[in-house]
Structure 1
Amino acid sequence: MNTEIDNYTKDLWQNAVDIFDGLEKIKMTLVNIKISVAKMDNSEEARVMNAIASYIENSIDSIEEKTQFIRNISKEIGVINRSTEKEQS
């Protein structure tokens, strides 16, 4: 097992988790914005704010999918790295 690779994959995985957690906090803020907008009159401003919040939420969903992919790949690299050590023993 290459310890350096193992450390990099752990760091990569943890950073992806941290990004995902941060994005979840932003999504909760967007939910609160949407709730506030829903209480507003059906004005042009309210519709624009809701559209912007929805766009940001969709962008966050896309980023979360990519961070999930990064977590899965880094985990797989760690598994391969450990299995290489067993084969070399």
Structure 2
Amino acid sequence: MKNLVFLLCLLSGFAMANPDQPNENHIQPKQVSEEIYKKCLSKAKHIYEEEVCKSKKPAIQQCVENEVKAKDAKSAKTKCELLYLAPSK
């Protein structure tokens, strides 16, 4: 019985360390850039501000892709949001 419990614990440990499961630090740059773009649109109060967000979309995508390569997901999202959602005054 102890061997069975040990074996089950061992197998559950292998299941938790399965490389096929997605890593929580893994980031989808496209998804993150869409989130930033949608946040930009939600802050727009006028049509011209929406157009500005649309023009920033390729730059946001590029920023996220570059930052993900250099850093972790959270810092990449934070940096790109600060660059492209900051007030332009």
Q: Structure 2 length as normaliser, TM-score? A: 0.30
Which protein, 1 or 2, shows the higher relative CO under an 8 Å CA cutoff with sep ≥ 6? Answer: 1
